[in-house]
């Protein structure tokens, strides 16, 4: 799989979000996928900084709000993904946005 390099050359881990909207909302039935160059099936998940859920799986179905990260042996921990349990959330697409881009916002509740 594709894995970006950090400025220092260390391999990093990415946390993919489905559906791809940020901030993620618990009522959206969010699935997180840990992706990186470390060994597949050796993922460690963290919720609010503490080990969380079933270790080893590359996918996690989120059932509680919080801030999630993941890592694999030999890679750094992923950037965090926050999942909210708010009744009304204004969301933007997960992809990087540049000034001048046309963007669809989603207001859900």
Query: Is 89 part of a structural domain of the chain?
Result: yes
Q: Report if residue 7 sits inside a domain.
A: no
**Cβ(78)–Cβ(67) below 8 Å:** no
Q: Based on the structure, what is the number of domains in the chain?
A: 1
pTM to 2 decimal places: 0.81
Average pLDDT, the chain: 86
- Look at residue 84 and tell me if it is in a domain: yes
Q: What is the pLDDT of residues 1-34, one digit of tens each?
A: 444 444 444 567 899 999 999 999 999 999 999 9
Q: What is the average per-residue pLDDT within 26-55? A: 88
Evaluate if residue 105 carries a pLDDT over 70. yes
CATH number at residue 76: 2.60.40.10
Domain residues for 74?
Answer: 13-108
If pLDDT is split at 50, 70 and 90, which confidence band does 86 have? very high
**What pLDDT is recorded for position 10?**
52
Are the C-beta atoms of 14 and 95 separated by less than 8 Å? no
Structure tokens at 67: 């801030």
């Amino acid at each position: 799989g594709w894995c970006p390099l950090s400025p220092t050359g260390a391999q990093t881990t990415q946390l993919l979000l489905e559906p791809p909207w940020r901030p993620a909302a618990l009522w959206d039935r969010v699935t997180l996928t840990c992706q990186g160059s470390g060994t597949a099936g050796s993922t460690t998940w963290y919720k609010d900084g503490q080990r969380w859920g079933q270790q080893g799986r590359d996918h996690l179905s989120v059932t509680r709000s919080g801030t999630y990260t993941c890592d694999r042996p030999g890679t750094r921990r992923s950037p965090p993904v926050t999942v909210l349990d708010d009744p009304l959330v204004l969301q933007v697409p997960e992809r990087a946005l540049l000034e001048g881009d046309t963007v669809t916002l989603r207001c859900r509740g």
